[in-house]
Amino acid sequence: MRRFTIAGLVAAGMAAAAVYGLSPMPTVHAQSAASGDTARAIFAGGCFWCVESDFDKVPGVVSTTSGYTGGHLDNPTYRDVVTETTGHREAVLVEYDPDKVSYEALLDAYWHSVDPTDAEGQFCDRGESYTTAIYTTSDDQQKQAEASAKTISAELDAPVATLIAPAQKFYPAEDYHQDYYRKNPVRYKYYRFGCRRDARLDRLWGDDAHRGLSNTH
């Protein structure tokens, strides 16, 4: 679980922040709100700090919210979810402007930012709460997600372990988890590097790793 795996990394990050005088960045949205209607999508891809950071780099995404979904416990907390007894996954609610980015493009960005072949978790984070899932908000999203999973399975020549299911109630995570990568940039970067997330994505996807993101980490 992340709270144990990054303990040393966080300590190192705090030390580095003290040495270099770094301070947390202010909380901001990915882009300013778009005019007109927006749509919603929900993705689970391991650590929601990372999933939120990734989707904030997709042009057309209006906002992202880290949270919990898919389980049986009402109003779960982070401490509840990491016990691996609630059925919830860490997930991100993505609000996007469909005039600027399609759901198909969001799916493509998602697949190339996770390891969909891992059924036990993501990268250094192990357990059901860190496994991948796509929670669909309509029949059309369900069909598109299922079709894209077949394409990805063929591309990787491996089974896709990602759950694709209708969305359940989404519970926003605690405030300190929101925009974590912006508020705590040093700690976040140490965590992401130590978890070997990007190293694994580079091995799995090669040049297509992080496809659809507007800039790197």
Please calculate the CA angle 165-140-129 and round it to the nearest 5 degrees. Answer: 20
DSSP classification of residue 130: G
| Dihedral sign computed on CA atoms, order 96, 33, 65, 21 | positive
Write the single-letter amino acid at 165.
A
The rounded Cα 44 to chain-centroid distance in angstroms is: 6
Active site residue 47: yes
Residue 87 per-residue DSSP state: -
Q: d(Cα 106, Cα 160) in Å, to the nearest integer?
A: 17
**Hey, which residues are catalytic here?**
47
